[in-house]
DNA sequence: CTTTAATTATTACACATGTAATCCATTTGT
DNA sequence: ACAAATGGATTACATGTGTAATAATTAAAG
């Protein structure tokens, strides 16, 4: 039994563009991503098509062109990835992982305060 | 240009077994994993072999049998996965993700104290 | 020694993913 | 009206991954 396919790493880049603004034409998506990743336009179109196949992205026709928009919620996708990582290391020390996050990422003072509060309440 | 292959989700299960104790025979690994995942022994052996091909696992012969041990450090692998997730959601709110972690996972009081300290020092 | 059982090695096969190119239809410039 | 460009649809192809089965080898049992 094969498991439901998720959104691949490359496809995530497209989702992020659409979560940032939607709907957008493939041209617009291509323009944005060509700068960030070293991808050919054809490659980016393939990714868009795959996301449509996966029902992660929908589109409306505007004459001959399509305008794409996300069908999945950003926060839910992030949570799904997070849970996937948690599952992967389940049974192992979660702390070093968290430490990596806390050290590497830019958090606002408010974020930090809020996270501290979560930790307090867990004790 | 193809990127270096990582350790797949299924392979991680094998790594976890070996990080828990090593070296171990394939039989021992199979015995442990048959309980947790619904895998055939042949499947598990395939995973072990792939890890050997990837230089993630080494082995010493003990007569006709092999005893396997990890060649990669657990903490580093966890960090790599963590960074991969961070990259994936880069530019997006990291806080909800952290909140998920902090709420879902079981952390010891010592862990919590240590994490709080990390947060303090970041302020 | 020969048959059997256990282990490792090799092969299989469908679907996913990275990374595009080609084909086809339609719009647009001349 | 015709040619060129553009955008979507289809096809490509190597490698990775899940999930094993089969073949080859060798140790153990009789």
pLDDT bucket at B55, cuts 50 / 70 / 90: very high
For residue B81, list chain A residues with Cβ-Cβ distance below 8 A. Answer: 85, 88-89, 97
Q: Which ipTM score applies to this complex?
A: 0.84
- Residues A57 and A14 sit within 8 Å (Cβ to Cβ): yes
Instruction: State whether B78 and A97 contact (CB < 8 Å).
Output: yes
Task: State the pLDDT at residue A62.
Answer: 92
Q: Look up the protein residue whose alpha carbon has the minimum distance to the C1' of D18.
A: A2
d(CA A28, CA A23): 10
- Chain B closest CA to A64's CA: distance in Å? 32
Q: Among partner residues B75, B89, B118, which is closest to A102 by beta-carbon distance?
A: B118
- Residues A67 and A25 sit within 8 Å (Cβ to Cβ): yes
A19 pLDDT higher than 80: yes
pTM of the model: 0.86
pLDDT in tens, B79-91: 889 888 888 887 6
Strand segments, DSSP code E, in chain B are 24-25, 57-62, 65-70
Task: State the pLDDT at residue A86.
Answer: 82
For residue B112, list chain A residues with Cβ-Cβ distance below 8 A. Answer: 119, 122-123
Task: State the pLDDT at residue A8.
Answer: 96
- Chain B closest CA to A38's CA: distance in Å? 11
Looking at residue A23, what DSSP letter applies? S
Token output for A50: 């795959």
DSSP labels for A44-87?
HHHHHHHHHHTTSEEEEEETTEEEEEE-S-HHHHHHHHHHHHHH
Mean pLDDT of B96-111: 75
């Amino acid at each position: 039994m094969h498991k439901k396919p998720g959104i691949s790493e490359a496809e995530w880049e497209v989702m992020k563009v659409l979560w940032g603004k939607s709907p957008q034409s493939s041209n617009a998506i291509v323009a944005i991503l060509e700068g960030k990743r070293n991808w050919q336009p054809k490659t980016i179109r393939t990714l868009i098509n795959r996301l449509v196949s996966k029902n992660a992205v929908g589109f409306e026709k505007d004459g001959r062109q399509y305008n794409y928009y996300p069908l999945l919620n950003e926060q839910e996708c992030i949570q799904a990835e997070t849970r996937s990582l948690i599952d992967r290391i389940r049974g192992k020390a979660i702390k070093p992982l968290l430490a990596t996050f806390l050290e590497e990422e830019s958090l606002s003072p408010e974020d930090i305060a809020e996270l501290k509060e979560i930790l307090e309440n867990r004790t």
